[in-house]
């Protein structure tokens, strides 16, 4: 039986919970997402960022910054496309990308601050 690492169990569960919650809220709430739900997503993002291990920082920052940039660009393109065509699927995808941004921006900021503080200690 393989031994599993438990060093990042809290961060992994916070990440999974946050992504599932962001997608569900994006699908069902749409533009009318309540501030407490967004606060929970931001808090989960902070937890995810806090528990990123030292060896995974570079990979996490690369992936999360990519996701933030692509999500923002996707929202802008889908909003424009939905305004021109009146397509409702664009609003759903735009909402999902927006809630994912609420999750990943605090996580990215937290990890970036950890890197800056570790560099300042040297």
Q: Is residue 3 part of a domain?
A: no
Q: What is the spatial distance between Cα 11 and Cα 95, in angstroms, rounded to a whole number?
A: 24
CB 14 within 8 A of CB 95: no
pLDDT of residue 103: 93
10 Å CB burial of residue 100 (0-12, 13-18, 19+) is: buried
DSSP H helices, the chain, are 9-28, 35-50, 57-85, 88-121
Q: What is the model's pTM?
A: 0.82
88: domain range? 9-121
DSSP classification of residue 56: G
pLDDT of residue 111: 94
- Tell me if 21 is assigned to some domain: yes
User: Is 97 contained in some domain?
Assistant: yes
Number of domains in the chain: 1
Residue with tokens 């916070």, as numbered in its chain: 14
In a domain, 108, yes or no: yes
pLDDT value for 80:
66
pLDDT at 82: 62
Residue stretches of the chain with pLDDT short of 70: 1-7, 78-88
Instruction: Please tell me the distance from the alpha carbon of residue 101 to that of residue 64, in angstroms, as a whole number.
Output: 10
Instruction: Specify if 18 maps to a domain.
Output: yes
> Which pLDDT belongs to residue 106?
95
Kindly state whether residue 22 falls inside one of the protein's structural domains: yes
């Amino acid at each position: 039986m393989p031994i599993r690492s438990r060093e990042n169990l809290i961060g992994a569960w916070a990440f999974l919970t946050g992504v599932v919650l962001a997608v569900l809220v994006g699908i069902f709430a749409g533009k009318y997402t309540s501030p407490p739900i967004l606060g929970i997503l931001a808090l989960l993002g902070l937890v995810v960022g806090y528990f990123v291990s030292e060896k995974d920082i570079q990979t996490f920052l690369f992936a999360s910054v990519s996701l933030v940039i692509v999500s923002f660009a996707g929202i802008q393109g889908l909003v424009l496309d939905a305004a021109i065509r009146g397509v409702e699927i664009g609003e759903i995808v735009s909402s999902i990308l927006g809630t994912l941004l609420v999750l990943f921006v605090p996580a990215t900021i937290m990890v970036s601050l950890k890197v800056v503080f570790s560099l300042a200690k040297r």
